[in-house]
Structure formats: C-alpha cells, structure tokens
C-alpha cells in the first residue's frame, strides 16, 4: 500500500484515497474512542509517515 501511495503522490495525484477495513463488532457498539477507531488512527498515522513529494 505504501508503495502505491508513494507512486501516485510522486506522479501528482491529488484525489481521494478510499481504504476499507473489515471489523466485526461482537459485543455491540463500542464506547466512544474505542473499537475500530484505533485501526483508523493507525492507518492514518502510517499514511502520514510516508515520504512523498506532495
């Protein structure tokens, strides 16, 4: 994924990225700030860490 984003950014892509993650909520809705939001935070952190020219 990192290589794909880097190539797109290096070539001037400035559109949206859509990345999906499947998560099973087995015990109902998690409390605010818990559950799948942690995976989203990790994904965004990773994307921000990529060294791109944009």
Angle at 33 between CA 29 and CA 38, to 5 degrees: 95
| Those residues with Cβ within 8 angstroms of residue 43's Cβ, 6 or more apart along the chain or in another chain | 19, 21
Residue (of 6, 4, 1, 16) closest to 52 by Cα position: 6
User: Could you report the per-residue pLDDT of 3-22, keeping only the tens digit for each?
Assistant: 999 999 999 999 998 888 88
Q: What is the pLDDT of residue 39?
A: 87
User: Could you report the per-residue pLDDT of 28-53, keeping only the tens digit for each?
Assistant: 888 888 888 888 898 889 888 987 65
Q: What is the pTM of this model?
A: 0.64
Q: What is the pLDDT of residue 26?
A: 87
């Amino acid at each position: 994924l990192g290589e794909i984003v880097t190539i797109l950014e290096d070539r001037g892509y400035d559109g949206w990225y859509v990345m999906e993650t499947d998560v099973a909520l087995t015990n109902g809705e998690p409390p605010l700030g818990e559950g799948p939001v942690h995976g989203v935070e990790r994904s965004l952190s990773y994307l921000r860490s990529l060294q791109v020219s944009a």
